[in-house]
Amino acid sequence: MSHDTLTDVAARIREQAIAYCEPSKVPGYLAGVYHAGDQTVVVHGVANVVTRAPMCEDTGFLFGSVTKVLTATLVLQQVERGVVDLDERVITYLPEFTLTTPGAAEEIRVRHLLTHTSGIDADLFFPDAGGRAALQVFLEELGKFCGALFRPSEYISYSNAGMIVAGRLLEVATGTSYHDLLEREVYAPVGMQDSCTSVEEAILRSTAVGHFLDPATQGARRTDMFKLPDSYAPAGSTPIGTIRDLLTFGRLHLADGVSPSGKRVLSRESTARMKSVAHDMGTPNVPPIGLGWPLMPVGKTTVLAHSGASPGGVALLVVVPEHDLAFAAFGNDPRAMMLHDQILLSLLREHLNVEGPDFVADPTLVTDLAPYVGTYRSNQLRVNVRLVDGQLEETVTYEPQDEVQERIMTEFAGGTWPFPPRRFVPVGNNLFAPTGMPVQTFSGYGRQFLVSYHGFIEGRATYRCAGGRMTRRERLE
């Protein structure tokens, strides 16, 4: 264990934030570290480039997909109370749950929703619904437009839809809206005093907004969309809080389900289940998954780490149980994700003396690129993989279902498509990396930039996995 103090850690984070944000013009950054009873918060820049409001320690921000761990916590609470059974079929609680793939919904168990192994093909599906019926609308629309990519437990594919179905299941099983349940069963007992679930509440306090790089000025422009529709709430559209609140939630999972105030929120057994491996694909670009928590191995240490994107913003919550450390961060520009990774690796190596082996490329494991060439699809996404100059070249195309989907996705992503073709080179067994990206990038959270191929039939890959998400080969050529 390092002997540096959290004062030293805060100074180092502040230096890293300045060195990264100022040249790249990332508007603002927040970071907090809890370690063995001590805590520090670092702020930099502005919360909004239009108003010039400064980032402050109590500035709120959208949790984004970090919310998924909160949703999983809610489900485990109901499992403890005997209201929900992880091994029960989802249709037992939601008879109206259907998918366009015949028989697919009937095979999905509750646990598949929390482990991203349900196979639901709805990654870019954004029903524009608000209010208390939003999750019900999502479920109805899901059955009309979305199918399955694979059978449950066959693969891990990061699933917003799975968590939203879990949120709707909670509403039906408890008779309480997702937002009310979150406030009553997580925010209040955990001690997340500055967290809320609505724009109406957030506007009453300091709240950061997202930004995107403006290609014309090379500066930051404010997003036109604050958050995704309410129908995405359990996956990460509505919860808003502070760095201190996220650290407080992280401490709950450090203390085996006991909040900093001493109140037990989850049983020791439930928190252990959440951070135990439920499924492992055995590929470096997809960490093993627990119930809600991705389990990123760094050497012999398991790091629980969940990121969260919002329109023009990125959050991160990391829990390292072995060292009683939690790290939370938010940047109001998607490029801040690289800074999150830099700080995380620095904390592990310099503060905790946790050394993970650097990623080592072995391109000799792939000699024939033909098995990977083809067209792969998932919800509203097409990926063409072809062989160009001895490398794989990917062209990713967004194919919106309708004008509503296109509007929401465009605003959420900052209008960043069409994506230019990108080249990939082999770095391991059925594993590829973007050409020109330094190999050290893949030692931390950046391992998600790697692309892997799976499910070989007749010598050709059936699935492509990028960013933890599966696309399926359109046909065997």
pLDDT tens-digit series, residues 243-287: 999 999 999 999 999 999 999 999 999 999 999 999 999 999 999
Q: pLDDT at residue 1 above 60?
A: no
Q: Are residues 412 and 311 in the same domain?
A: no
The model's confidence at residue 392, banded by pLDDT at 50, 70 and 90, is very high
Q: Are residues 303 and 367 in the same domain?
A: no
* Domain endpoint, select from 357, 391, 407: 357
Q: pLDDT at residue 2 above 80?
A: no
Give how far Cα 416 sits from Cα of 226, 334, 364, 409, 412, Å: 17, 12, 34, 10, 10
- pLDDT confidence of residue 251: 98
Q: Are residues 404 and 336 in the same domain?
A: no
Under 8 Å between Cβ of 63 and 246:
yes
Q: Are residues 187 and 117 in the same domain?
A: yes
Query: What is residue 62's DSSP assignment?
Result: E
- pLDDT confidence of residue 476: 57
Q: Are residues 208 and 241 in the same domain?
A: yes
The model's confidence at residue 158, banded by pLDDT at 50, 70 and 90, is very high
Question: What is the end-to-end Cα distance of the chain in Å, rounded?
Answer: 54
For the ranges 235-239, 420-424, 443-447, the lowest mean pLDDT is seen at 443-447
Q: How far is CA 313 from the centre of its chain?
A: 12
Does a cis peptide bond (omega within 30 degrees of 0) precede residue 420?
A: no
Q: Which tokens go with 453? A: 């191929």
Q: Are residues 400 and 307 in the same domain?
A: no
> Tokens 């997809």 belong to which residue?
286
- pLDDT confidence of residue 415: 82
Give how far Cα 348 sits from Cα of 19, 228, 323, 399, 444, Å: 20, 33, 10, 40, 10
* Domain endpoint, select from 324, 357, 390: 357
Give the range of the structural domain holding residue 377, as residue numbers without chain letter: 363-473
Domain with residue 392: its CATH number is 2.40.128.50
Give how far Cα 189 sits from Cα of 173, 255, 259, 261, Å: 21, 14, 7, 8
Q: Are residues 222 and 336 in the same domain?
A: yes
Average pLDDT over residues 36-52: 97
Q: pLDDT at residue 32 above 80?
A: yes
Tens digit of each residue's pLDDT (9 = 90 or more) over 329-368: 999 999 999 999 999 999 999 999 998 878 888 999 998 9
Q: Are residues 198 and 331 in the same domain?
A: yes
Q: What is the sign, positive or negative, of the torsion defined by CA atoms of 74, 76, 80, 83?
A: positive
Question: How many other β-carbons are positioned within 10 Å of the β-carbon of residue 58?
Answer: 14
Q: Are residues 32 and 58 in the same domain?
A: yes
Q: Are residues 353 and 367 in the same domain?
A: no
* Burial (CB count within 10 angstroms: exposed 0-12, middle 13-18, buried 19+), residue 6: middle
Domain with residue 183: its CATH number is 3.40.710.10
Q: pLDDT at residue 197 above 70?
A: yes
Quote the longest CA-to-CA distance of the chain.
Answer: 61
For the ranges 49-53, 59-63, 388-392, 442-446, the lowest mean pLDDT is seen at 442-446
Domain count, the chain: 2
- pLDDT confidence of residue 441: 87
Non-local (6+) Cβ contacts of 300 within 8 A are none
Q: Are residues 343 and 406 in the same domain?
A: no
Q: What is the distance between the alpha carbons of residues 108 and 39, in angstroms, rounded to a whole number?
A: 41
Q: Are residues 285 and 396 in the same domain?
A: no
* Domain endpoint, select from 339, 357, 375: 357
The model's confidence at residue 242, banded by pLDDT at 50, 70 and 90, is very high
Query: What is residue 328's DSSP assignment?
Result: E
